[in-house]
Structure 1
Amino acid sequence: MNPLIIDTHAHLDFKAFNADQNGVIQNAFQNGINKIINIGVNFETSQKSIDLSTVYPQIYATVAIHPEEIITIEGQTEKEVMEKLTVLSSNKKVVAIGECGLDYFYLRKDETNRRLNIERQQKLFALHIKLAKNLNLPLVIHSRDAFTDVVNLLTEHKFPFSKVVFHSWSYNFKKAQQVIEKGGFISLNAIATYPNAKEVQETAAKIDEKSFFLETDCPFLPPQSKRGQRNEPSNVIETASKIAELRRTTLEQIATNTTYNATNFFQL
């Protein structure tokens, strides 16, 4: 039997799981996944994450507005957004604020629109930082092509890095060290199983064992053996096995370390 592992980042409420959500969840629990954190990306999915967590004792929730979901709060004031997120966060199964952060990947290249989009994203991220501080909850960070700005905003708002995890780590080892030296964490997923993801594999091989968690980001980013298929929580075992290989240790050791790290970070 597989050792027990926590999938710290899943989207089981997404439509990819509409037909067999319960089956996917039961399969995960039967194959070594003992807890799952379901991640909100807007008001609707945050509520759905909470709903899932009330049905399944081993599932926990987070709430936030993802930077690419900024359109879903069009016309709402900062105060209104903060109030709605605060109400959602009051549920006892909510263990973090996220996923939130900055994503510059799809921004239009013309300078005026780009600058406006970046400004809006940064304001929204700052709101989440303030919310997490108010509630004494950790932050689950989404950061794509925006590492320096994310770090700068966290520093500017004096948010403790000990309560920060960069999910779906895709940067290099040097940047991982920057996060870890500040007391922060990173979360590794099946990107580490991709042959061309050399920087992520180097990071997985070298970082301190106390500084990382495991995740799937399902239904996205399936492991190498299942490329092109829907990802699901049970697949985190393949990621853990690859990381064990990269670190020249055992699957059991990776499971033990990452479960300990995630349990403490999210207070599960």
Structure 2
Amino acid sequence: MKYIKLVIAIDDEYQEPFIAELFDMGFDGFEQRDNSIIAYITEEGLGVGDRERIEQLLAGFPGNGFIETEELVSDKNWNEEWEQTIKAQEIGQFFVKPTWSDDPVPEGKILLEIDPKMSFGTGYHETTRLMLNFLPSLVKKNDILIDAGTGTGILAIAAVKLGARHALAFDIDEWSIGNARENILLNGVKSRITLRKGSAEVIQAEEKADLLMANIQRNVILELLPAFTEALGEKGNLLLSGLQEDDEDVVRNKLKAHFEIISLQQENEWIAVHAKRKK
């Protein structure tokens, strides 16, 4: 079987949602690079109109990405090649590994077994590491948490393994919900995480969090900030990422009415912000 290989220029922060769109179109192999995606689809699976559809989708993202190259390639074992890109790694107090890794857990580290779907990325992003590094200082025993845009579920799983009593995790994407459910079962924390499909509307009025986490794109964070504010209890903590250093000023301005910014961490051009709800 022959595959069409597309190299698509698109900024890192928009790659995950764009991969989801490509997956729905029938693409079944992906590689993420700096500011580009390599996507594969069977020769028969890519119609004439699909290229135009991809260009239309790209035009909807800031920066207007484009198809750099297109070529015909031979069949590969996509899963095997993809798995080779996911390695076990230490992130702060955590040891994050896929199930196919036989690396031993280092002494004193908390194991997070996370198998991300192939359609949603090939590695752990800077923003994920920033959030995981923040969590041990923020999660208190018996805390109630909300994980907005849960993705693989890694943050909710990490939080309950740190001692949180319960986490509500939600995502608008059906594939993310399925992947998060698998990872929650894999880590043995099903009884302590409630998973819902949707956005902030799935947070019930009586559900007040001690910590709300959101590792999502800046514009979505700003749109949902009123709901996040409402969902946090008095002096609750807010942990945000999916943000670039250029986003800092606008995020600070939006937060100042209801939050005090406590600290900020940065890795490369990505930042994470810890803020506390004002009385």
User: With structure 2 as the length reference, what TM-score do the two structures score?
Assistant: 0.33
Greater RCO, 1 or 2 (C-alpha within 8 Å, sep 6+): 1
Q: Return the structure number with greater helix share.
A: 1
- From the two aligned structures, give the one with the greater strand fraction: 2
Mark the structure with the bigger radius of gyration: 2
TM-score by length of 1: 0.34
